[in-house]
Amino acid sequence: MVDWNKTRFPGVRYWVSDTRKHKGKPERCFVIRYKRHEKPVSETVGWQGQGVTPEFCAQLRGQITSNIKTGEGFQSLKEKRELEEARRQGEAETKAAIEKENIIFDVIAQKYLDWAKTAKKSWKHDVSRYDNHVKPIIGQTPIKDIHILTLEGLKKKITPAINENGNSSEKNKKKPKELSQQTKKHILILIRGIFNWAIGRGLYQGENPVTKTAKIDKSFLKVADNSRTRFLSYEEAELLLGVLFEKSLVTHDISLLSLYSGMRMGEIFALKGTDLNFSSGVIHIKDPKSGESRPAYIIDAIEEMLVRRYEELNKPSELVFKSTKGGPLKEISNIFERVVDELGFNHDVDDRRDRVVPHTLRHTFASWLAMNGASLITLKNLMGHKSLEMVLRYAHLSPSHEKEAVLGLKRIKPNKIIDIDSFKKR
């Protein structure tokens, strides 16, 4: 029977060998104990002569118990060893493959994207940009052949998203929309990130070609001014909402909310009844693009609409806006574009910055606030931007308190369907 000895660390103990020696003394074998699924588990970590210490065992045990609580990562020493062995084998296989002279860029890119799915919140954007814009152009290019000329050629060839068949979308038989300068920059940054990731893991030897190109061509990663300058006048907004109200109530309501709250379309599509607090007049925007939650305010212009939408929900946890099939919306209806065309807002407009699009509503919200005297700090907070630099475009419109600034937007009389006063008296 083994004689166990305690350490000063909970769940860490050892037994002393009768035959093995370490530095002239009987060697210790360390064991950790913990519970998994309410069952006690005991696992041998290793011998003192192998460098195993009580401190190391305690740290290892802490990681395992933490992973058990969160349901992530290895949840036993056995699993850790299996994962490490799998990782070593994977690295050996990848290293062997990368040494082949003609390995194509897609091989490395796919490994990067697999990693991104577990390490980056924005991995879906990476996958979309790679599949639609990078893979068709340089995916089959040997990684050793990707250099300055390759990247400059890619920058010129970047086109709008392609479908699964590899052809440009022809749904509307219209000329594909030009990608924004910012999107093109994100695509180049993605390629740079893939190379950096490969270099850091020993999968690629040499200098990052994107970084090298940017050193030679200082404008390579720079973005031309892509800021939208177009915003609606009060008269244009009232006209747009009026026609949308007649054509499509849901498109009208989404547009109205964006115009008077500054919410992004994605934030509106994710809005639930539980996010609406009518007593405090606040909309709780969760997990927005900036990564931080923020409030929007329920002013008179949108209150009746939100109450109406709320009253139509079967339960508060439902989405406020749903598709015709009851699922989440992915984009606003093309009715918006048709109405804008019908009103002639984009007639003879060639510069994309001057075109009226759904995002123009959010831009109009900020522009109106600036003209009402809102400070840049207020604009930054209400728009959910990470930095003041992103709201500097509105500085020239300024002639503050956040809610008071929003309450100043009362120029348009909203289209009402239900009696808001009776709702408040409940």
Chain segment 9-64, per-residue pLDDT in tens: 999 999 999 999 999 999 999 999 999 988 999 999 999 999 999 999 999 999 99
Give, in degrees to the nearest 5, the angle at Cα 54 between 49 and 57.
95
Could you list the beta-strand ranges (E) of 1-110: 5-6, 12-22, 25-36, 39-47
CA distances from 200 to 62, 93, 102, 197 (A): 28, 16, 20, 5
Q: Tell which wins on pLDDT, 237 or 223.
A: 237
**Scanning the structure block, which residue is given the tokens 């210790």?**
28
* 227 band by pLDDT with thresholds 50, 70 and 90: low
**Token pair of 387, please?**
């930095």
Q: What is the mean pLDDT of residues 393-399?
A: 69
CA distances from 210 to 193, 219, 257, 264 (A): 9, 12, 41, 32
* 231-263 pLDDT tens trace: 899 999 999 999 999 999 999 999 999 999 999
* 424 band by pLDDT with thresholds 50, 70 and 90: low
Cβ neighbours for 245, distance < 8 A, ≥ 6 positions apart: 252, 415
Rg, C-alpha atoms of the chain: 29
CA 176 to chain centre: 25
Please state, for a pLDDT cut of 90, what percent of the chain lies above it.
57
* 1 band by pLDDT with thresholds 50, 70 and 90: confident
Could you list the beta-strand ranges (E) of 39-161: 39-47
Question: Is the whole model's pTM more than 0.85, yes or no?
Answer: no
> Does the structure show a pLDDT above 50 at 354?
yes
Q: Which domains does the chain have, with CATH numbers?
A: 5-84 (no CATH), 105-216 (1.10.150.130), 234-424 (1.10.443.10)
**Could you give the CA distance from residue 320 to residue 95 in angstroms, rounded to a whole number?**
50
What pLDDT is recorded for position 162?
Answer: 41
CA distances from 5 to 11, 30, 61, 156 (A): 11, 10, 17, 69
Task: Let me know: does 29 contact 17? Beta carbons within 8 Å.
Answer: yes
CA dihedral 335, 341, 346, 350 (to 10 degrees): 90
Task: Let me know: does 260 contact 365? Beta carbons within 8 Å.
Answer: yes
Secondary structure class of 3 (helix, strand, coil): coil
